[in-house]
Structure 1
Amino acid sequence: MNERITQLLAQMAALEDELRSAVHDQESRMFFRIDGKRVEFERSVREAHLKLKKNVFRWLVTNRPQNLITGPVIYGMAVPLMLVDLCVTLYQWLCFPIYGIGRVKRGDYMVYDRQHLGYLNAFERFHCTYCEYANGLMAYMTEIVARTEQYFCPIKHARKILGTHARYNRFLDYGDAADYEARLEAFRVALGKDR
């Protein structure tokens, strides 16, 4: 990887850290604090949230019909998602120790905090929990597969692709065969430090 790309990646990492900090500062102004896994709002905010909460009957009557009609299709995906979750988790628990790859921590990706929002009714909370699970699962799986790719084949594609994982930009350039085996081993050793 050339020096310019290394510098740009370092700048991107610094900007991502700065963005996370700015978002955190903005969230801090929303009058809540995190106590372990629990989010606690100030009393005035909790009261305001409860005033905005739509009761279940009103929500059902005013909800878009297409949302209610497609609900079974959306929630029918729960079984395949849980099956994939089980398979990917077993895969990393069985194979990563053999390869010397640090395991991906599920709790870093599975975050369930929207149930603390007082303005959501029971159906909305259920929807949020489902989306938190599905999106968290996709991020969790992406990291597991990214670590696997880094171990076996850390080479970029010839064509530009959308939606690459965080490790991809540091992979070897397509067609760059110089010292491939040594550099592949360096990628593998680095994975052992991701614990």
Structure 2
Amino acid sequence: MTHRMQELASEIVRLQGELDREIEARRKVLGWRLKERIVEFEHGITIEHRRLRTKISRFLRRSPAATVLTAPVIYSLIIPMVILDAWASLYQAICFRAYGIPRVSRADYIVLDRRHLSYLNWIEALNCLYCGYANGVIAYVREIGSRTEQYWCPIKHALRVTDPHRRYYAFLEYGDADGYRARLDEFRKRLQAEPPPDAQMRE
């Protein structure tokens, strides 16, 4: 990685921290905070949220026919998602232990907290639960895949990749044969010594 690329990567990390601080400030404006992974709303906000909940009958009347008809197709994806979740968990439990790679914490990616929002009716809460699970599984599997890629093939592609995972920017340049032979073990050792995400956030 060139000096300029290192500067850009550092800037990305800095901006992510700044974004996190802005999100925290917005939480305070909306009247809630996290306490040991539990959301706490200020007094009176929950009552107001319940007042804004849409009744099921009205919700269904306002739903387009196309939405109702395609719902079974959307929810049918739960089957491959559960299989992918279980298979990826088994894969890292076996292979990451064998390679000495820290395992990905599933709970850091699959977050199912939106169903507790009082302004959602049970259909909306179910939709949020499903989306949180499906997108969480994809993010969880992506992190497992990125660690696997760093261990076996930390090389950038010749063609542009849309929205690559966070490890990709540090990978070796396409065609850098000497770097690959000389630095593959370095990438593996760096991965094996990597602290968990919560430890990185505290630094």
* TM beyond 0.5: yes
Q: Deviations over 1:74-122 (max 9, x none)?
A: 1111011100111111000000011111100001101111122111000
Residue of structure 1 in register with 2:106 after alignment: 106
Residue of structure 1 in register with 2:75 after alignment: 75
Q: Distance in 2 between matches of 1:121 and 1:78?
A: 21
CA-based RMSD of the aligned residues comes to 1.1
Q: Secondary structure at the match of 2:80?
A: helix
Residue of structure 2 in register with 1:5 after alignment: 5
Quote the offset at 1:57 in angstroms: 1.2
Q: Distance in 2 between matches of 1:155 and 1:185?
A: 13
Question: Which sections of structure 1, spanning at least 5 residues, go unmatched?
Answer: none
Residue of structure 1 in register with 2:199 after alignment: none
Q: Distance in 2 between matches of 1:38 and 1:20?
A: 18
Question: Which sections of structure 2, spanning at least 5 residues, go unmatched?
Answer: 197-203
Deviates more, 1:36-45 or 1:89-98: 36-45
Q: Distance in 1 between matches of 2:152 and 2:131?
A: 31
Q: Distance in 2 between matches of 1:136 and 1:183?
A: 32
Alignment of 1:55-70 (within 5 A): 55-70=55-70
Quote the offset at 1:36 in angstroms: 2.6
- Report the AA paired with residue 126 of structure 1: L
Residue of structure 1 in register with 2:155 after alignment: 155
Quote the offset at 1:133 in angstroms: 0.2
1:56–1:123 Cα contact (<8 Å) kept:
yes
1:109–1:139 Cα contact (<8 Å) kept:
yes
Quote the offset at 1:3 in angstroms: 0.7
Quote the offset at 1:24 in angstroms: 1.3
- Report the AA paired with residue 85 of structure 2: D
Quote the offset at 1:23 in angstroms: 1.1
Q: Secondary structure at the match of 1:40?
A: strand
Q: Deviations over 1:160-186 (max 9, x none)?
A: 110210100010000112242231111
Runs of at least 4 residues off by over 2 Å: 35-38
- Report the AA paired with residue 15 of structure 2: L
Q: Distance in 2 between matches of 1:42 and 1:10?
A: 36
Total equivalences in the alignment = 195
Residue of structure 1 in register with 2:125 after alignment: 125
What TM-score results when the alignment is normalised by the length of structure 1? Answer: 0.96
